Amino acid sequence: MKRFLLAAAFFVVLLLIWDVAFRTKIWSPVLLPSPWQVATYLKGAAVDGTLAKATVITMRRLLAGYFIGLVVGLPLGLLTARWKLFRDTIGTMALGLQTLPSVCWVPLALLWFGQTEAAMLFVVVMGTLWSVVIATDTGVRNVPPIYRRAALTMGSKRLHMWFKVILPAALPFIVSGMKQGWAFAWRSLMAAEIFVTILTGFGLGQLLHYGRELSAMDQVIAIMLVIVVIGLLADKIFFSPIEKFLHRRWGTSQA
């Protein structure tokens, strides 16, 4: 409770500073709207459904791309961990492409797929895939050999070994890779939505883009806040419980 109150106080102070900065009129209200203007926009967008619609569209794109990234990335990571040939080829490629900021995929996606949903999906998949591959590979290769040996003596082999020993043992790495993949997917989707202004659906990134076009700073800030909140919620709802479980089981430190 004390922690919650402290955190709440922090954000209240932040809002107050913002409000004071607005009242001083040092910056034009076009550039710095008041917290109330932003709140008013948010309320309006929430009431007329814009916000909900945009969020649904964005989440659909994000989840589809993220899911494909996971489904393709996990097996690829297993392959690179298991066979040198794959490590030298796919592994090296993954390492290289992972360093590429995901927004860099946007021009290519636009040229290949045009202003389409496919372009956005492609960018999200590329943002997710490589970090999942690398995390899975690292996780599997960090499994202490003694687990394998112990399991071997008890009669575990092949698929059983992979699913009941190696994958669970690599889980902490894989989960942190999934988390990183999620962060990258989120970033790349926002980049894609800002650049790909298609008419098949307005996502949050597109609302942000049109906010800029219309110089509607209240809209820009409001959408940015929504994006931050979604990121936080994803962490709290999805990743936090998994990480808590891992910390409890493995006995690793928990902040």
Partner 1 sequence: MRQAARHHSSVTEELEVIAPSKLAIEGVSKSFRSASGTVLALDRVSLNVAEGEFVCLVGASGCGKTTLLNIIAGLEKPDSGTVLADGKPVTGPGRERLVMFQEPALFPWLDVFGNVLFGLKLKPNLTKKDRRDVATYYLELVGLSRFEHANIHELSGGMKQRVSLARALAPNPRMLLMDEPFAALDALTREQLYGDIQEIWKARRKTIVFVTHNVREAACLGDRVLVFSPHPGRIKEEFAVKLPRPRDINSVDLAAHATRITKALKSFGQAEAAVTG
CB 209 within 8 A of CB 196: no
Chosen residue from 111, 146, 199, 237 binding partner 1 by CB under 8 A: 146
Chosen residue from 109, 169, 185, 194 binding partner 1 by CB under 8 A: 169
Tokens of 111: 């040229």
Spatial distance between the Cα atoms of 255 and 253, rounded to a whole number of angstroms? 7
Question: Between 22 and 61, how does the x/- string for binding to partner 1 read (CB under 8 A)?
Answer: ----------------------------------------
Spatial distance between the Cα atoms of 128 and 73, rounded to a whole number of angstroms? 8
Spatial distance between the Cα atoms of 170 and 125, rounded to a whole number of angstroms? 22
Contact between 1 and partner 1 by CB under 8 A: the answer reads no
CB 140 within 8 A of CB 82: yes
Tokens of 47: 């009431």
- Whole-angstrom Cα Rg for the chain: 22
Contact between 150 and partner 1 by CB under 8 A: the answer reads yes
- Looking at the chain, how many residues does it have? 255
Report the residue number, 4 or 251, with the smaller CB distance to partner 1: 251
Chosen residue from 5, 111, 154, 255 binding partner 1 by CB under 8 A: 154
Contact between 155 and partner 1 by CB under 8 A: the answer reads yes
Contact between 149 and partner 1 by CB under 8 A: the answer reads yes
Q: Distance of alpha carbon 204 from its chain centroid, rounded?
A: 14
Chosen residue from 39, 151, 224, 234 binding partner 1 by CB under 8 A: 151
Q: Which listed range, 46-54, 125-133, 162-170, 227-235, lies at the site for partner 1 (CB under 8 A)? A: 162-170
Q: Tell me what percent of the chain is helix, strand and coil, each rounded to the nearest 5.
A: 85, 0, 15
Chosen residue from 24, 28, 153, 253 binding partner 1 by CB under 8 A: 153
Binding site for partner 1 (CB under 8 A): 144, 146-147, 149-156, 160, 164-165, 168-169, 171, 248-251
